[in-house]
Structure 1
């Protein structure tokens, strides 16, 4: 019975905008731990995706960038949380200058990852292949 209730809580896990990322992460970690105690093992990628999907709508851009990362299946929950904290502090503009420098470097990395992922995903798209053939569009 307890395992069923925990699975349901996991499936319907909401992040609360008012409680902030710290409390959301703590609640999620506790839920994952309780599931593991009851024998339910969830893959790292599923945990990460679930946490990202549960973020409030004002963090959709952050969640999208993070979901496009290729190492989401091996990225630990702590690392995901730390990356989210960097983005959160950048968005709020309340980070120290040192944190901003780390965050800006991090943002460039994630932005590069997103662009790379986009273009990599487009390589099998027939429309993208047409755009790579400029001779098709020559007039005259």
Structure 2
């Protein structure tokens, strides 16, 4: 059995139009002819300028200040290569320190100060080792020159 129709209801103010498709009184939201795809911005203008490009930049810092960029790894790799060359050629025991500090600097990704400190330690170790190598070479050259001069 069907529900009551508007003609058969006892109360003429109550209607059951909802059963037949349309709510009573037409469109209750006043959206007759509303096209959501051509609605525009709803009275709102574009956002105010002056804040830069709304890209996907990392947060932090004040507006207008550049973000801190991590230092490049070229200096660290150079220190590692130099330490390995020094270790392979002559003074291997002393060059291990440079290799260790360069490897620590390469592994440190989150603490920029610690990475810079390890890189500096690796380069200082490498230059000390290179200085020792050059002193030994100069000592041998002087010793050979003295030996040749004393025989003559």
Give the structure-2-normalised TM-score: 0.29
Using CA pairs under 8 Å that are at least 6 residues apart, name the structure with larger relative contact order, 1 or 2: 1
TM-score by length of 1: 0.31
| Bigger proportion of residues as helix | 1
Which protein has the larger Cα radius of gyration, Structure 1 or Structure 2? 2
